[in-house]
């Protein structure tokens, strides 16, 4: 993050910052059918993701660039919050590289009138869906489970009230409350090694100061 996140796109430097991009090289051209972008989110705010552009190409000199989306702002709503932005291609395209551009975001609080600009680009996941090649197979299905279920975490800071609710596997009003100020964290000890596929922290876990 460069500059202060505040309501002035001029004074915090946002207006003069360049667009930035992530680029993937698949090693060879692939037949692309869709792209999914999963972005960051805030509990009490909605984002407008600024100047999104998605383009693909196969020549290293970028001479055959093909823009699949944008340049356009993508506005988050309560209904689309944390949902993927999906670009479904009516006609698949063949490309080796994909570039995903953005120029930060504008955040608007939902519990106040505050809003501000930032150059931060927060992505939780990127999926590029392509046709299987000849001889290529889908990965074997793997059984996964919640290894934190029912385990009490070690706590840095004051012990939360109702600590067992943190890992009871339920999303209801029976939540834990952590009242420490400053730095605090939870730690789970598994005693064995596991291949971890996903780590989730879901509301209504509430941390207050």
Question: Which has the minimum average pLDDT: 12-21, 89-98, 111-120, 199-208?
Answer: 199-208
Q: What tens digit of pLDDT does each residue of 164-184 get?
A: 888 888 877 777 877 777 777
Cα–Cα dist 77/206, whole Å: 22
**Best mean pLDDT range from 2-6, 74-78, 175-179:** 74-78
pLDDT over threshold 80, residue 200 = no
- Between 71 and 120, name the one with better pLDDT: 71
Mean per-residue pLDDT, 177-193: 75
**Best mean pLDDT range from 98-112, 121-135, 184-198:** 98-112
pLDDT at 59: 94
Cα–Cα dist 204/149, whole Å: 16
The DSSP bridge pattern shows strands 45-57 and 66-75 to be: antiparallel
Task: Give 89's pLDDT tier (boundaries 50, 70, 90).
Answer: very high
Q: What tens digit of pLDDT does each residue of 109-133 get?
A: 999 998 888 888 888 889 999 998 8
**Phi, psi at residue 153, to the nearest 5°?**
-80, 155
Percent of the chain with pLDDT over 70: 90
Task: Give 1's pLDDT tier (boundaries 50, 70, 90).
Answer: low
List strand residue ranges (DSSP E) for the chain, in order: 20-39, 45-57, 66-75, 85-102, 105-109, 115-118, 123-130, 154-156, 177-178, 185-187, 206-207
pLDDT at 33: 95
Mean per-residue pLDDT, 158-162: 79
pLDDT at 130: 93
Cα–Cα dist 68/92, whole Å: 11
pLDDT at 86: 94
pLDDT at 28: 94
pLDDT at 191: 67
pLDDT at 161: 82
């Amino acid at each position: 993050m460069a500059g202060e996140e505040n309501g002035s796109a001029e004074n915090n430097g946002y207006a003069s910052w360049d667009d930035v991009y992530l680029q993937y090289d698949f090693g060879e051209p692939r037949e692309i059918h869709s792209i999914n972008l999963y972005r960051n989110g805030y509990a009490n705010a909605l984002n407008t993701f600024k100047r999104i552009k998605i383009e693909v190409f196969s020549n290293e000199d970028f001479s055959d660039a093909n823009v699949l989306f944008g340049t356009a702002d993508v506005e988050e709503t309560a209904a689309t919050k944390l949902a993927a932005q999906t670009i479904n291609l009516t006609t698949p395209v063949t490309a080796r590289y994909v570039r995903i551009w953005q120029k930060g975001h504008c955040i608007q609080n939902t519990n106040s009138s505050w809003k501000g600009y930032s150059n931060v680009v927060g992505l939780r996941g990127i999926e590029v869906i392509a046709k299987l090649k000849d001889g290529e197979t889908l990965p074997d299905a793997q059984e996964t489970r919640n290894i934190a279920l029912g385990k009490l975490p070690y706590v840095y800071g004051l012990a939360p009230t109702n600590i067992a609710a943190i890992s009871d596997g339920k999303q209801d009003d029976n939540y834990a409350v952590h009242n420490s100020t400053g730095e605090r964290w939870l730690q789970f000890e598994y005693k064995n090694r596991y291949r971890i596929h996903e780590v989730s922290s879901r509301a209504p876990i509430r941390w207050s100061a």
